[in-house]
Structure 1
Amino acid sequence: MQNKHKIDFPIEVPIIVEEESFMYPFMITPIFITDPSSIKAINSTITDKDMIFVCCAKNIKDHSQNAQNFYDVGVLGNIMRKVNLPDGKVKILFQGIVKGKIASIESQDPLRGIIEPITYKKYNQEKIQAIIEVLKEKVRILANISQFFPPDLLRTIEDNIEENEEPNRIIDMIASILRPTKEQCYNLFASNSVEKRLMMLIDYVIEETQTQKLQKEIKNKVHTKMEQTNKEYFLKEQLKQIQKELGLDKQRDEEIENYNKKLETIKAFIHADAYKEIKKQIDRLSKMHQDSADSNIVQNYIEWVLEIPFDKHAKKKLSINSVEKQLNQDHFSLKKPKERIVEFFAIKELLEQREQKPTKTIGTILCFYGPPGVGKTSLANSIATAIGRPLVKIALGGLEDVNELRGHRRTYLGAMPGRIVQGLIEAKAMNPVIVLDEIDKVGRSMRGDPTSVLLEILDPEQNTDFRDYYANFNIDLSQIVFIATANDISNIPAPLRDRMEFIEVSSYTPQEKEQIAKKYLIPQELKKHGLKPSEFSIHQDAITLLIEKYTREAGVRNLRRQIATLIRKRAKEILQNQQKTTITSQNLKNYLDKIVFEIQKGDNEDKVGVINGLAWTSVGGDVLKIEAIKIKGKGTLMLTGSLGDVMKESARIAFSVIKVLIDEKFFTIKKEKKKNKESKEQKDMQIYNLYDIHLHVPEGATPKDGPSAGIAMASVIASILTNKKIHGDIAMTGEITLTGEVLPIGGLKEKLIAAHKAGMKKVLIPSKNYERDLSDIPNEVLNDLEIISVKTIKEVLKHTLI
């Protein structure tokens, strides 16, 4: 065989072993290498710009480099490209040039050997051409029934035959497409007789042709079987229809009949349009094939709407005595909320006794608002129990999708009724108590504004004809007792606020919390944890300490958790046969972690530049120390303590008001003795222009804001500029104007409770709050504090400055 590439044989080159198949001289093939020895061989080839020999492994599972484990024939060629892959693998692009045979192995790591060319015997051209024609015919037959013979490859083979190309190249080309077994490939590769190679290849083509015919026959049989299965399916479906026509299949008819019976049962309790819509869908279902997609959608709709309890109502007779009794039984204190609830149901009971229908204006929606844990939701539970109606709670916190309330249209996948209709189905009555929890936290998004739907649900003028998109007919919601709960009513849109009557459920005093703990929380938690009252003992001073030092809240939710912790520890002691111990203020620390909260008691020490302000927080009132110092400067005001914009404005107003009072000579300011002589200009300057004021509210990491710190800030600025002390046992709350008037504030009850806890003796409050809000303050707070009404900042300063 002529060496077209001018390779000087024999030649020593690196050897790599390919696991999958034989390479051929005309192929450019990617090869993946994992064997370290072969990778070394590749690296040395690239470094030395040498050729490389690729042979085929006999067994894929055996990766050893022994000569017995790979064939001694292969292809000599070049590495066109090398790529390093993860996990130490290597990918090369190999170009075969000429066949060769391993004469000897020279080294093992890396594998190298002497390669000699494969030379072919001379052959009779005419005989070989005749055999090639037979091969051509066999290949054409195979190509007609095989999918792995692309038309362009067949055309290339025929072109090479017509151009009298070397027979060995034609043999190699056909063998590469046939992909015979490794042993067959080796026989073709190793033989040096062209005639023998052609005859072997013809046998392989005939064998592959028979295999392809067999596979095609099997595929045809499978296809025929599938057609038969489909045919049987359609025949069975036709049989079902025939049976239905003959009355042999009654299941669907029974379902349709049941739906019609349910519809007729509720006909007297629903609107005509509702009856018409449901009847229409039942008739539509009866005409549908039961396996169709629309059939499932329609059937789901019918089952949903027939579950709505149109004909069911809670029938317990309304009695305000039972309402009042239940409220008192479940809740301590909360006098005003209880009174308003009883009044609400008194109107309904009176109308029932006189057999009058309530007018639309009577349909008031109650909204309980206040801090977390004060009993808003539990009030609704008590109402439902007292009037004998089922309770449904709908959590509105974070709700953004209008369809959650109004229902999804049936065209959407997974459509279902809105939460209101689902609530009726859950309650199994048309007049339940529905609690709209966290109504102040309803969101708004691209899916609509749920508050607009709530307007329709809660408006007595509209909710008699509320349309659910899924049901597609009007539903009367007027018999439902809606009760909303909220923490901050300012977050509720004004149109929605207009539909509701707000009842404040405010903070509890420490004394009220003690009574709640003894009468409600401890008995309830003992029952929940399976303990008898005789097995758990806690002293009064321990309950007081628990409220003051281990909880900080307006309600009693955390107090319940702490009591539950004590009861769990007692349950553990019982199981370990430990002696019963009474929990007191001295041993309470053995049961709970360290003290968490503590309202700082007033030290009652009169100081310059320190005053007690009162603040409202989401967990009740608090006493804030406000501090001020003066520094030589030019009369500027510096504010620190994480103050909000409102408090910053209050501080600036207070500074301006005090400046005006100094100019009016309201204060007697003692001049400080100076060692150095001052200029006449400095002597004539007011004191507020000689010093910079730094006003600070401690606990700077806690954001603070609100319109109630004006008089406290004015007092502390006046104290530091006049060098007069402030009474240490006085606290105050109120806002001021530039003219010095004291404005009313909110959250007075929580603030006075905080002053009471901190041990204050006097509290200054705006006169308007004094006139209208003191009736809401608990007696124990009023008896303990001297509450003083103030109208102007001058009155405030007369009480605060010494």
Structure 2
Amino acid sequence: MQINENRIFPAELPIVVQEEFLYPFMITPLFFGAGDEDNIKAVELAKNTNNMILVVPSKSSDIRGIEDIYDAGVICTILRLQQLSEGRVKVLVQGYEKGRIIGAISPNPPVALVDRIRVIRPNEVQTEASLAVLRDNVRALASISHYFTPDLLKTIEESSEATRVCDIISSALRLKKSLAYELFIEPELEVRLEMLIEHIAEEIETNKLQKEIKNKTHSKIDKINKEYFLKEQLKQIQQELGTDTSRDEELQEYRDKLEAKKKFMPDDAYKEIKKQIEKLSRMHPDSADANTIQSYLDWVVEVPFEKLAKKKTSMAEVAKQLNEDHYSLAKPKERIEEYFALRELLALRGVSEKVNGGAILCFAGPPGVGKTSLANSIAKALKRELVRIALGGLEDVNELRGHRRTYIGAMPGRIVQGIIEAGQMNPVVVLDEIDKVGRSYRGDPTAVLLEILDPEQNNKFRDYYLNFNIDLSKIIFIATANDVGAIPAPLRDRMEFIHLSSYTPQEKFEIAKKYLIPQELKKHGLKPNDVSFDKAALNLLISDYTRESGVRNLRRRIADVLRKVAKSLLLDPDAPKAKITSKNLKDYLEKKVYEIEPADKKDRIGEVNGLAWTSVGGDVLRIEAVRIEGKGAMQITGQLGDVMKESASIAFSVIKVLIDRGELKIPAKIIPARPDDKRPLTPSDVYRRYDLHLHVPEGATPKDGPSAGITMATAIASILSDIKVRHDVAMTGELTLSGRVLPIGGLKEKLIAAFKAGIKTALIPRKNYDRDLADIPDEVKNSLQIIPVDKIEDVLELALKA
């Protein structure tokens, strides 16, 4: 069936329902799913009859009958029908005329009587005038909206058919269905033109108003940022809905905390924090910058500007606490008491501590001797929090200075973190292992430590993360170090060193008895009547099961014993009290670890006891020498450093001089004779005809230091003169080329090592004897014969057995 002006209607057409209005002369694809059974049946019916359908829009998504669809649509011809997968159908249709349903025939598939909607046209002049006004309005709307594409505008301008122009404009405008229906069924062209002109005029005014509002909003956005506009809109929506107010509560909490601290903090800190709070309030909560600023505020509002430990410095209370917590350490305790006595006096007289230069204490000594525990006692006596900052291996300067906030994972420096953790601005801060600070491409942390520890600068220390100054001058800084020489000189200049030396066996015994055992009993849930250590067991534990200068390993061994006691007590609650003796100690501990090998019982040629200092205390260093027929060369082994190698060369030269002078007697029998000798042998031939091999045992352990000169010289003298060295003599001292004995360091640790090894006589430089003997424990001085020496001749006279 063909539709034209001469066609007689009504006609019987299948009905196809769509969401939107279609218009004549449009070629449109229609898609039907498996659920569109009525539409598919209608299409199939049309294909089998006249190939024509009426496409009408639905009034709503829920279609139950013909009353749920509009009674007008477009009469279309089916151009192509294509079956798709899963029962879907694609139909390509072309619209020809508007039609109206005038009566239903069949509900399944829906078929209705359709009549064409005829257009009533006014005179051409009136139509052209209305069409011109409509085109002007369309151009005006297109300039301020996006309804019309350039191609569509061109079609509207060039088309001479008013009805088609109306259809094109109606399809381009996003009209409500009710209005679209009124325009669609309106038969009088002039009325339809006027309705479109009126609607487009309204659209123009609406778009102008929207544009004006947007311009006003954009001017505000230009002053702040786009997120502010979104936030304002979101805030209004939230107020209307009465929903999420947690963000405002967080911001108010930041403001309240800031105002509470305002009078205690510097102005630059208050301004910076306030600026960041206001900046956060203008940001979208999900932006990356907002998260960064919120993390910053979480840190800075916790800085305890308003909190200071109020307790006044009391030297008497510090002294009392030190004596309660530590045995021995008389000199370190005395120096600490002097330090706090000075602070107390300055406070009483209202004088700034900076007058004294604000000395920084540094406890130096081997591991386990009580450096950190002294700081604990000081903090306890002053009623201040203790902050421990481990500097061992620290290479990144930003770990102390703080990271710039632009970096991912930025945080304040460790000093600021420690203050926040302590909850007060004047805690006791322990800078642990300050001698092990590293240096890398990330900077030199010691440069920051210079500022942190300098009382002239640290009252305005600037942390990069905080971005404002913070006062560190009220903090009591205490550093700890194993090796003072490893600390850079400028940093060393800022500190005053208190040296803690190795404990003697008797001191370890008292510490174990009074402190370690009671503390470990408590940790292991044991009572004093559950276990006891006799004196011999403790002494054996100290001498044979620990290897240290301090008491850390001794504490571990006591804990090892108590764990086994706790286990046995759990297995047999009625077991008798465990008594730890020297005989059954091996049942509780696995194996012995000899710290210092006891001195030999025999005098030997070429073997000398030297005394050495290590980072874990003193040690007895045996040096051996042998002679081999050769040409006077000397070989040195034992992983020695350059200083010890030079000491060996000096010692060899000194002994050669003594032989040449006849001051060191060489038996003629030991000088090897050769067949080509044409002159009598002289004592000097002994070092020309022998090669010497000098060795320091434990070759895998590096050794170096300027204190082995007289020990090496004695070993060389002994092997060349064939005279035995006394087994009960040990020595330490550097040697000059002229034979003078120079002073050394670490005397206390070395003499304690000699005492532990059972040495009877110790030879030391005279300057050390005059200067350092007062520091040696009485227990050591009473057990050792300490003899000062000035030159190598004195050493050989005392060490070589006549």
Q: TM-score, normalised by structure 1?
A: 0.69
Counting only pairs closer than 5 Å after superposition, residues 279-358 of structure 1 correspond to structure 2 as 279-358=274-353
Q: Deviations over 1:24-45 (max 9, x none)?
A: xxxxxxxxxxxxxxxxxxxxxx
Contact conserved, 2:627 with 2:719, CA < 8 A, in 1? yes
Q: Show CA shifts across 1:175-206 (max 9, x none).
A: xxxxxxxxxxxxxxxxxxxxxxxxxxxx9974
What CA distance in whole angstroms lies between the structure 2 residues aligned with 1:710 and 1:236? Answer: 81
One-letter amino acid of the structure 1 residue matched with residue 681 of structure 2: K
What amino acid does structure 2 have at the position aligned with 1:638? Q
Task: Please say if residues 644 and 706 of structure 1, whose CA atoms lie closer than 8 Å, have aligned partners that are also in contact.
Answer: yes
Question: Aligned match of 2:420 in 412, 422, 425?
Answer: 425
Alignment of 1:55-70 (within 5 A): none
> SS of the counterpart of 1:629?
strand
Distance 1:682 1:649, change over 3 A: farther
CA offset at residue 462 of structure 1? Answer: 0.5
CA distance in 2, matches of 1:469, 1:442: 20
Q: Distance in 2 between matches of 1:235 and 1:603?
A: 89
Code of the aligned partner of 1:747: G
1:680 aligns with 678
Change (3 A) 1:240 1:759: same
The two structures have a TM-score, normalised by structure 2, of 0.69
Contact 2:389 2:429 (8 Å CA) reproduced: yes
1:242 is aligned to 236
Consecutive unaligned residues of structure 1, counting only runs of 5 or more, are: 1-140, 146-202, 215-233
Identify the residue that residue 713 of structure 1 maps to in structure 2: 712
- Kept after mapping to 1: 8 A contact 2:610/2:622: yes
Give distance in 1, aligned partners of 2:599 and 2:438: 43
Q: 1:257 to 1:608 in 2, by over 3 A?
A: closer
User: In structure 2, the residue corresponding to 1:307 is in which secondary structure?
Assistant: coil
Alignment CA distance shift 1:781-1:143 (3 Å): farther
Q: Is the 8 A contact 1:360 1:460 kept in 2?
A: no
Where does 1:101-500 land on structure 2 (aligned, <5 Å)?
Answer: 206-208=83-85, 211=88, 240-243=234-237, 251-359=246-354, 361-500=356-495
| Structure 2: distance between partners of 1:237 and 1:312 | 37
**2:638·2:696 contact (CA, 8 Å) conserved in 1?**
yes
**CA offsets, 1:92-144, max 9 Å, x none?**
xxxxxxxxxxxxxxxxxxxxxxxxxxxxxxxxxxxxxxxxxxxxxxxxx9999
Aligned partners of 1:486, 1:477: CA distance in 2, in Å?
Answer: 22
- Could you say what secondary structure the match of 1:363 adopts? coil
1:204-263: per-residue Cα shift (whole Å, max 9, x none)?
97445974859xxxxxxxxxxxxxxxxxxx999776332567896754444433333322
RMSD: 2.9
User: Are 2:618 and 1:621 equivalent residues in the alignment?
Assistant: yes
1:360, 1:461 within 8 Å by CA — same for their partners in 2?
Answer: no
SS at match of 2:533: coil
By how many angstroms is 1:765 displaced?
Answer: 0.3
Distance in 2, Cα, partners of 1:678 & 1:798 = 36
1:505-548: CA deviation from partner (whole Å, max 9, x where unpaired):
11101110000000000000000000001111111111111111
Q: Provide the secondary structure at the position in 2 that maps to 1:435.
A: strand
Task: Give 1:293 shift.
Answer: 3.1
Q: How many angstroms apart in 1 are the aligned matches of 2:568 and 2:705?
A: 48
Q: State the distance in 1 between where 2:510 and 2:81 align.
A: 100
Q: Is the Cα–Cα contact under 8 Å of residues 548 and 595 in structure 2 kept in the other structure?
A: no
Task: Please give the alpha-carbon distance, in whole angstroms, between the structure 2 residues aligned to 1:235 and 1:409.
Answer: 29
Q: CA deviation at 1:371?
A: 1.0
Q: How many matched pairs? A: 588
What amino acid is the match of 1:625?
R
Q: For the Cα contact (< 8 Å) 2:529–2:577, is it kept in 1?
A: no
Between the aligned partners of 2:792 and 2:230, the Cα distance in structure 1 is 95
Measure, in 2, the Cα distance between the counterparts of 1:736 and 1:785: 23
Which one is further off, 296-305 or 393-402? 296-305
The percent of aligned pairs where both chains have the same amino acid is 64
SS in 1 for 2:276: helix
Q: Can you give the 5+ residue segments of structure 2 that lack an aligned partner in the other structure?
A: 1-26, 32-79, 92-227
- What pairs up with 1:693-772 in 2 under 5 angstroms? 693-772=692-771
SS in 2 for 1:482: strand
What residue is the counterpart of 2:150 in the other structure?
none
Contact 2:461 2:472 in 1 (8 A): yes
Q: Which residue of 1 aligns with 2:591?
A: 594
Counterpart contact for 2:648–2:709, Cα < 8 Å = yes
In structure 1, distance between residues paired with 2:599 and 2:343: 50
1:622-657 CA distance string (max 9 Å, x none): 112222222221111122222222222111110100
Amino acid at match of 1:772: R
Structure-to-structure mapping, 1:20-31, within 5 angstroms: none
Contact 2:450 2:490 in 1 (8 A): yes
Secondary structure of the equivalent of 2:592?
coil
Stretch moving more, 701-710 or 461-470: 701-710
Q: Supply the AA of the counterpart residue of 1:713.
A: M
Q: CA deviation at 1:761?
A: 1.3
1:362 Cα offset (Å): 3.6
Q: Which is worse superposed, 598-607 or 374-383?
A: 598-607
In the TM superposition, residue 268 of structure 1 has moved relative to its aligned partner by 1.7
- Cα drift, residue 480 of structure 1: 0.5
**Counterpart Cα distance in 2 of 1:587 and 1:209:** 88
SS at match of 1:497: helix
Which of 638, 643, 647 is matched with 2:640 structurally? 643
Q: Structure 1: which amino acid aligns with 2:508?
A: K
Q: 1:770 to 1:247 in 2, by over 3 A?
A: farther
Within the alignment, does 1:571 sit opposite 2:570 as a pair?
A: no
Specify the alignment match of 2:580 in structure 1.
583
Which residue is 1:132 aligned to?
A: none
**Counterpart check, 1:665 vs 2:662:** yes
Distance 1:670 1:204 in 2: 127
For the 8 Å contact 1:142–1:208, the answer to whether it is kept is no
Structure 1 residues 262 and 738: alpha-carbon distance in aligned structure 2, compared to 1, 3 A threshold: same
Kept in 1, the 8 Å contact 2:530–2:578? The answer is: no
Shift in Å, 1:704 = 2.1
Code of the residue aligned with 1:779 in structure 2: it is: D
